[in-house]
Structure 1
Amino acid sequence: MKKIKLLQQVAQEGVVAVLRGESPDEVIEMANQCIAGGIKVIEITMTVPFALKAIEKLAMSYSSDTKDPSKFAIIGVGTALDPETARAAILSGAEFVVGPSLNPATVTLCNRYRVPVMPGCMTIKEIQEALELGVDIVKLFPGNLYSPAMIKAIKGPVPQANIMPTGGVSLDNLGDWIKAGAVAVGIGSDLTSEAVKSGNYDLIASRAGQYIEAYRSAKNAG
């Protein structure tokens, strides 16, 4: 039942912060700022050096089960290329797994342990294969190669697919993606680039708040 609850929480929160950095400490600070700003679903990519350390520390600080709002967050792993990486991240506390592509063995591993898995797909064929493997949320990636109209095109033949665009989602088009039927959106460098350049990581919390406001406005409008 926990998997179902996590999927519902991800869909309810609607915005996933995709975090990359130069060290575990940097992405932990990014995550803390995102959570403070209102983004409660955090994806730590495996391209971060010693990413598992960051996932472990964040998973010890936050939980999807807590009743304390200040401690609520869902910590997951991104750029999981294979089942070995996914399992290591799960053992470190990751509650969901995201990959840039569809790797059947990774999906099987995550299904075995009842952990939500969100593989990257670009075509109807890949999306169909993901659904047949038991994937609940498909990551449309790279999202910047498409417009929000792509979701309508996908949902023509496969209306049952839950689509999460990642890459190229911005404050300007987030509303269009949600109105088009996206179950959630993934936000990457637009959240953190200005903070990294300036060294002022408080800017991430402010940016996160803008994304949450945009998401809620789009949902309310729908």
Structure 2
Amino acid sequence: MKSINERLSEIKVVPVIAISDPAKAVKLAEVLSENGLPCAEVTFRTEHAALAIKNMREAYPDMLIGAGTVLTTEQVDEAIDAGVDFIVSPGFNPTTVKYCQQRKVTIVPGVNSPSLVEQAMEMGLRTLKFFPAEPSGGAAMLKAMTAVYPVKFMPTGGVNPKNVKDYLAIPSVLACGGTWMVPNQLIEDGNWEELAQLVREVASVIS
């Protein structure tokens, strides 16, 4: 079985999703899976994130699914119960990290400075989210950190079609997180064909 890092490095771009209606989750998973991005980071910024994850997992058991914007141990439990493969947090919270380690689920916490990278490494982590990527110095900042630290990164925050290749060209970058191919309004409107087109465009750029 492939590791999460191996699967992320193959997919290259992780759609970061805020979904309000869990009933639309299965169709969204279908659009992503059938158009070249069989992965989703479903953020806990909406009330029904856990149910959306559960619906995706039941319909697409082989899809790589993460829970994003996880801020509490309670949300970790909800995400695990829903069937996630990994947890993502916007910042580095030692309490959340320790709890994920106790629950034996992969966590990719957010960092944007050398000090935070070292704190994460001290806890045994070697895969980190660089967030918010663009406001924190972009690809140039990430290159500077990767020259020093033996860590893999998933930059998220300001990544878009114009700069995604710059990030992916950095050897330590496993994948980028992005929202541009999964706009909230298109999901809410059920505009699946336009979403499919955006996903295909991303898949073609990174292939």
Counterpart of 2:98 in structure 1: which amino acid?
T
The offset of 1:112, in angstroms, is 2.3
Report Cα offsets for 1:140-188 as digits up to 9, x if no partner: 1111213211221111221x11111101111111111111232110011
Distance 1:83 1:50, change over 3 A: same
Q: Alpha carbon RMSD of aligned pairs, Å?
A: 2.0
Work out the number of aligned pairs and report it: 205
Match of 1:203 in 2: 194
CA contact (8 A) 1:24 1:49 kept: no
Question: What's the TM-score once normalised by structure 1's chain length?
Answer: 0.84
Distance 1:197 1:86, change over 3 A: closer
The offset of 1:41, in angstroms, is 1.8
Match of 2:111 in 1: 121
> Which residue, 152, 158, 161 being the options, matches 2:151?
161
Match of 1:30 in 2: 28
Overall identity of the aligned pairs, in %: 27
Report Cα offsets for 1:105-158 as digits up to 9, x if no partner: 221222223322111111111111112212232111111213211221111221
> Which residue, 176, 181, 194 being the options, matches 1:185?
176
Distance 1:151 1:97, change over 3 A: same
Query: How far apart, in 2, do the equivalents of 1:206 and 1:166 lie?
Result: 22
Match of 2:85 in 1: 95
CA contact (8 A) 1:15 1:184 kept: yes
Report Cα offsets for 1:25-82 as digits up to 9, x if no partner: 244433332222211121111112211111111111122xxxxxxxx31112111002
Query: How far apart, in 2, do the equivalents of 1:192 and 1:26 lie?
Result: 13
Match of 1:139 in 2: 129
Distance 1:46 1:180, change over 3 A: same
Counterpart of 2:198 in structure 1: which amino acid?
R
**What secondary structure does 1:143 align onto?**
coil
Distance 1:157 1:78, change over 3 A: same
Which aligned pairs between 1:76-115 and structure 2 lie closer than 5 A?
A: 76-115=66-105
Counterpart of 1:211 in structure 2: which amino acid?
V
Structure 1: unaligned runs, 5 residues or longer:
64-71, 217-222
The offset of 1:197, in angstroms, is 8.2
Match of 2:160 in 1: 170
Question: What's the TM-score once normalised by structure 2's chain length?
Answer: 0.89
The offset of 1:15, in angstroms, is 1.3
Counterpart of 1:176 in structure 2: which amino acid?
D
Query: How far apart, in 2, do the equivalents of 1:194 and 1:58 lie?
Result: 19
Counterpart of 1:130 in structure 2: which amino acid?
A
> Which residue, 46, 49, 52 being the options, matches 1:51?
49
Distance 1:41 1:134, change over 3 A: farther
Structure 2: unaligned runs, 5 residues or longer:
none
Higher helix share: 1
